[in-house]
């Protein structure tokens, strides 16, 4: 009996102490709140590819119609269209909500065409032909970031292989603007980051090349070649 009584007393004392400890205020605080994800940043290098459409305007003007005079209206312009595609690479740096960057492109184009007409003497058909097989550019970009959405403007220098020629077998001459051309480009676009590495973009760009004058026999037959192009394309970028 004594042993049973002592055991019961000890058990009651342990239970009472546990209940008292449970009633005491705890010194532990609430569990820490989860950390917010880091703010998205456009800063960094990227590479990617693009595809779209290109439209070029390639004109030839007879500067001395009194000597030649076989070109209707003294001028002819080819408005050409084709597919454009290529690769790009660049770097962005974000300062608060402003994003500054530089980008370079190398693109190929299928835009080409020709126009034939007969001269005033009834000689074989003269041919005005043009194409823009490829171009590259180096441009600055500036935009305002709305988290993962980045509208921007862009502009810079463009280097292109511009083929614009005029051939008249009846008069026996072949003139072109020389192929390589350096001009300027301006445009605008928008880019959206799918995640921390991949983004998609869409942009429009206008390219203008300087006019070139070519002629034969001390410019007895002189012609001016005028070329410009515009494009709309979409692209996919991977940021490191």
The predicted pLDDT at position 6 comes to 44
Say whether pLDDT at 22 is over 50. Answer: no
Cα R_g (the chain), whole angstroms = 36
Alpha carbon distance 54, 33 (integer Å): 53
Ordered domains of the chain (ranges, CATH) = 44-239 (2.40.160.20)
Helix (H) or strand (E) holding 61: strand 44-62
The pLDDT of 101-121, averaged and rounded, is 88
The values of phi and psi at residue 14, to 5°, are -65, -45
Q: What pLDDT score was predicted for residue 27? A: 59
pLDDT at 150 over 50: yes
pLDDT tens-digit series, residues 151-205: 999 999 999 999 999 988 877 778 888 789 999 999 999 999 999 999 999 999 9
Strands 179-193 and 173-176: unpaired
β-strands 173-176, 112-117 pairing:
unpaired
Give the residue-averaged pLDDT of 62-75: 81
Q: Which secondary structure element, helix H or strand E, spans residue 14, and what is its range?
A: helix 2-23
The residue ranking higher by pLDDT, 44 or 11, is 44
Alpha-carbon distance of 105 to 189, in angstroms, equals: 15
pLDDT of 120 over the 80 cut = no
> β-pairing, 126-131 with 75-95?
unpaired
Distances (CA, A) of 218 to 194, 212, 222: 60, 16, 9
Return the number of other C-beta atoms located less than 10 Å from residue 238's C-beta. Answer: 12
pTM of the model: 0.81
Residue 69 has pLDDT above 60, yes or no: yes
Q: Of 164, 152, 48, 44, which Cα lies nearest the Cα of 115?
A: 164
Residue 211 has pLDDT above 90, yes or no: yes
Report pLDDT for 117: 78
Task: Output b/e per residue, 170-184; b: 16+ Cβ within 10 A.
Answer: eeebebbbeeebebe
pLDDT tens per residue, range 2-21? 455 444 554 444 444 554 44
Question: Highest mean pLDDT range out of 16-20, 28-32, 41-45, 118-122?
Answer: 41-45
Percent of all residues in the chain with a pLDDT value above 70, rounded to a whole number = 81
Q: Quick one: pLDDT band at residue 116, thresholds 50, 70, 90? A: confident
């Amino acid at each position: 009996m004594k042993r049973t009584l002592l055991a019961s007393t000890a058990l009651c004392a342990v239970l009472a102490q546990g209940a008292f400890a449970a009633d005491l205020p705890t010194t532990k605080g609430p569990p820490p709140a989860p950390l917010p994800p880091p703010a998205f940043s456009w800063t960094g290098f990227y590479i990617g590819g693009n595809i779209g459409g290109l439209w070029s305007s390639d004109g030839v003007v007879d500067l001395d119609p009194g000597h030649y005079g076989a070109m209707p209206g003294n001028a002819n312009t080819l408005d050409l269209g084709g597919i454009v595609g290529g690769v790009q690479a660049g770097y962005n740096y974000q300062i608060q909500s402003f994003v500054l960057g530089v980008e370079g492109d190398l693109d190929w184009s299928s835009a080409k065409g020709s126009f034939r007409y007969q001269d005033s003497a009834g000689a074989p058909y003269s041919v005005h032909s043009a194409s823009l097989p490829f171009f590259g550019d180096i441009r600055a970009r500036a935009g305002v970031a709305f988290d993962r959405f980045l509208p921007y403007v862009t502009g810079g220098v463009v280097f292109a292989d511009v083929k614009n020629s005029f051939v008249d077998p009846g008069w026996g001459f072949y003139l072109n603007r020389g192929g390589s051309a350096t001009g300027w480009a301006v445009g605008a676009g928008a880019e959206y980051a799918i995640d921390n590495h991949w983004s998609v973009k869409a942009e429009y760009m206008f390219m203008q090349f300087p006019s070139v004058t070519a002629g034969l026999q001390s410019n007895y037959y002189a012609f001016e070649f005028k070329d410009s192009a515009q494009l709309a394309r979409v692209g996919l970028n991977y940021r490191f």
